[in-house]
A = this chain, B = another copy of it.
Amino acid sequence: MRFQRAAILGVGLIGGSVAAAIRHAALAGELVGYSPGGDAERARELGLVDRTAPSAAEAVRGADLVVLGAPIPAIPGLLRDIAPAIEPGALVTDCSSTKRGTVDAARSALGAKFPCFVPGHPIAGRENHGPTAARAELFRGAAVILCPQPETAPDALERARALWRELGARVVEMAADEHDALFAEVSHWPHVVAYALCGAIAAGERAGDSQRFAGGGLRDTTRIGASSPPMWADILLDNRENVLRCAQSFETELRALADALRAGDRDELIRRFGAAAVWRRGLG
């Protein structure tokens, strides 16, 4: 047994799946869940955790693993709440989609205990959410990004690596700023694009017919437009500068395509579509 007690703070899709995967791999003697709403109780009913705790600090007391699965705006408060209760030698890690903000919040909230915190981000979102969407195999084959800081304890980092590998993920390490710039591009900005595509169609006169005649292309292109609005508002706001940089390069490319179309410049369209298609085919 790698951990005696794992505390999962926030047991929605991600936190609940971490709990399920830890149980499936038999990595913890006991799983304790906490959430401010009804998710923890639901997670207990679903068998994702063994019991719930009345507060985050209570959940963390006696735990040698603490996983933050809470939404971004809840993270700073949660870190302040648990700071006094974190046990010596415990590993604390998180699952947030942005890393710079979480790292700053953790450094400020945890103080002398900050070395036990290993910032993490499993690349395993889905458009469903809540504990009922949790699955033990969610991280199998997924990448998990860890962003260790200069203060991070080598032992904590090593245990975080081992934990994610045992949950089936491949672990990659990078700087928090590089993480945020990269994920603005491969995840955060594409969500804005999908929302804009859905929003423009929804506001138009063919909102109904377009649902009726949507083919596989539109279905795929807009799938993440069904994602949780508050969750994505918070991710985007937290990574605003990087996302707005992506907005700029996207708008430049989009304008070039619209200009070529308006001008009837077939060669230019084919040249730009070609470069795009080469990149996409390389994605496999």
Interface residues of A (CB under 8 A from B): 123-126, 142-143, 145, 172, 181-183, 185-187, 190-204, 206-207, 209-211, 213-230, 232-234, 236-237, 240, 243-244, 246-247, 249-254, 257-258, 261-262, 264, 266, 269-270, 272-283
Contact = CB atoms under 8 A, between A and B. Distances in A.
Contact of A224 (B172, B220, B252): B220
A142 B190 CA distance: 28
B236 A261 contact: yes
Given A217-B125, A229-B270, A279-B202, A197 B190 contact: yes
A226 to B, nearest CB: 4
A220 B32 CA distance: 35
B275 A123 contact: no
Given A221-B220, A270-B230, A250 B197 contact: yes
A280 B253 CA distance: 25
Secondary structure dominating the interface of A: helix
A237 B261 CA distance: 6
B257 A196 contact: yes
A191 B261 CA distance: 13
A198 B262 contact: no
Given A222-B280, A240-B261, 19 more contacts: A125-B215, A125-B216, A187-B218, A190-B197, A190-B217, A191-B217, A192-B261, A196-B276, A202-B275, A204-B249, A217-B224, A218-B283, A225-B280, A227-B277, A229-B277, A230-B266, A236-B269, A240-B264, A247-B261
17 contacts: A125-B215, A182-B206, A185-B201, A186-B215, A186-B218, A192-B254, A193-B193, A195-B257, A199-B279, A203-B253, A217-B223, A221-B222, A233-B270, A237-B264, A240-B262, A244-B262, A247-B261
A143 B214 CA distance: 10
Given A215-B124, A258-B247, A262-B244, A275 B199 contact: yes
Contacts of A254: 192-193, 196, 200, 247, 251
Task: List the 6 shortest-distance A-B pairs measured between CB atoms, nearest first.
Answer: A202-B279, A229-B273, A198-B276, A199-B276, A233-B269, A226-B280
Contacts of A229: 269-270, 273-274, 277
B202 A283 contact: no
